[in-house]
Amino acid sequence: MNTPLWLWLAVLAFIILMLAIDLVAHREAHVIGVREAATWSAVWIALGVGFGAIIWAVWGAEFGQQYFAGYLIEKSLAVDNVFVWAIIFAHFAVPAQFQHRVLFLGVLGALVFRGIFIAGGAVLIANFSWVLYLFAAFLLYTGVRMIRQRDEHLNPDQSRVLAAFRRLIPMTDAFHGQRLLVRRGGLIMATPLLAVLVLIETTDIVFAVDSIPAIFAVTDEVFLVFTANAFAILGLRAMYFLLADLVHR
């Protein structure tokens, strides 16, 4: 699959443009209603499917099928993120109007980290093809572990990352709007919103360790791996707010 540099730049520019539009549309903190969440969900799904249709039309059915297989895998695995977000927000009692900003930054970070993981995985596979067998063994291991731990529930207070964050960084007890940092008596302190963001990023990295090997099992085209990941992840925020509405109902 021939993917010139300009195509990579065009896709990245489009993703940045859509994120900018999303950020402008939600620049004022407000509670995301079910209608707004459903609209954005439809937009992101349409973009993901539409991009797959372009891949199919330009590069043929084989690459189109690889993209859609990767997209569905990533979308399915990413649903776990949504439920974890709900647990974290409930644990910290994050006001509903502040949740979108945290998830926006969380998804932005997820794209960066997954891009790094994908690049690293591609280099390993290109130089050591047997790494795919290690990926397969790791997926089997994580699957067995999930079955054994299916009755366990996430407790953010038991997170080592959160414990280290609280030990190293002074933090306020109350939220200060959508701010992640505040200045108190000449000292810069984190707000609980920054702790929530750190936890969300950490859990996404954990999920990425599972999902990246899974998509490499269906395609070794780095462009397809990245774009399938990107379009699957970008719609997660809207999916979360749909879930949040269902929980209240």
Q: Mean pLDDT of residues grouped by 10 in the chain (249 residues)?
A: 87 89 77 84 92 93 93 84 84 86 87 87 80 76 72 71 85 84 85 89 81 83 92 86 73
- b/e per residue, 57-70, with b = 16+ CB within 10 A? eebeeebbebbbbb
Which CA distances in Å does 61 have to 46, 49, 220, 228, 233? 19, 14, 16, 16, 24
What is the predicted pLDDT for the residue at 187? 85
Residue 153 confidence (pLDDT): 65
- Using alpha carbons, select from 68, 88, 84, 50 the residue that is nearest to residue 236: 84
pLDDT of residue 249: 65
pLDDT given for residue 50 in this prediction: 94
Q: How high is the pLDDT of residue 237?
A: 84
What confidence score (pLDDT) does residue 64 get?
Answer: 93
Q: What angle do CA 106, 44, 18 make, to 5 degrees?
A: 65
pLDDT at 51: 94
